[in-house]
Structure 1
Amino acid sequence: MQSGRKGTKHWRLEYAPAEARYVEPLMGWTGSRDMNAEVTIDFDDKESAIAFCKSNNIDFTVFEPKKRQLHLKAYADNFSYTRVRG
């Protein structure tokens, strides 16, 4: 199966949690009283996300995306004589 890349070319603002999550004792669900944990804002580019944070006095940390490593394979490699069988 192959993973698609749709929706990966945007920047997202997520608030850091203000308080720890808790486990609800009756049902065992994880809960939070922090409403900012529900808020995410998407931007088209990094500069507009940074500008938004600066204009609204929001402390921010930028996490750059990891470099994608391609593992090129050919379908014919499945039937190669040098393939390790196990």
Structure 2
Amino acid sequence: MLARIYRPAKTAMQSGRAKTTAWILEFMPASARFIDPLMGWTGSTDMKGQVRLTFDTQDEAVAYAERHGIAFRLQEPQEAPLILKAYADNFATHRKQPWTH
């Protein structure tokens, strides 16, 4: 079963990089999900899809996968520059464009 090792991106609801430093090992789905005809719930027979392991570093995650014989795909993170902005910058005197409504 193939696993994916990655570092999560920041959510759309946060401006900083909280909870994006840990590396995660997740198993790829082995079987398709199905819909229960009685209740309409989505189900699966794949129990490894519920496993999500977190590691402090990329090396720890790779070493764990190799030690346990887990085939894995490593996704390198794409870093975007962190632009720090403050509300007071909207009213600064050194703005290049005047602030308008």
TM range (shorter): 0.7 to 0.9
* Count of paired positions: 85
Higher relative contact order (CA 8 A, sep 6+): 2
Aligned-pair RMSD on alpha carbons?
2.3
Structure 2 unpaired stretches of 5+:
1-12
Unaligned runs of 5+ in 1: none
Per the alignment, residue 54 of structure 2 pairs with: 42
User: What's the CA shift string for 1:16-63, capped at 9, x where partnerless?
Assistant: 111011111222221111000011111110111111111111100111
TM-score by length of 1: 0.76
Tell me which protein shows more helix as a share of its residues: 1
2:43 counterpart letter in structure 1: G
Q: Distance in 1 between matches of 2:18 and 2:86?
A: 23
Q: Which has the higher strand share?
A: 2
Residue 24 (structure 2) aligned to one of 12, 15, 23? 12
Among the aligned pairs, what percent are the same residue?
A: 48
Counting only pairs closer than 5 Å after superposition, residues 1-86 of structure 1 correspond to structure 2 as: 2-76=14-88, 78=90, 82-83=98-99, 85=101
Answer whether contact 1:22 1:30 (CA < 8 A) is retained. Answer: yes
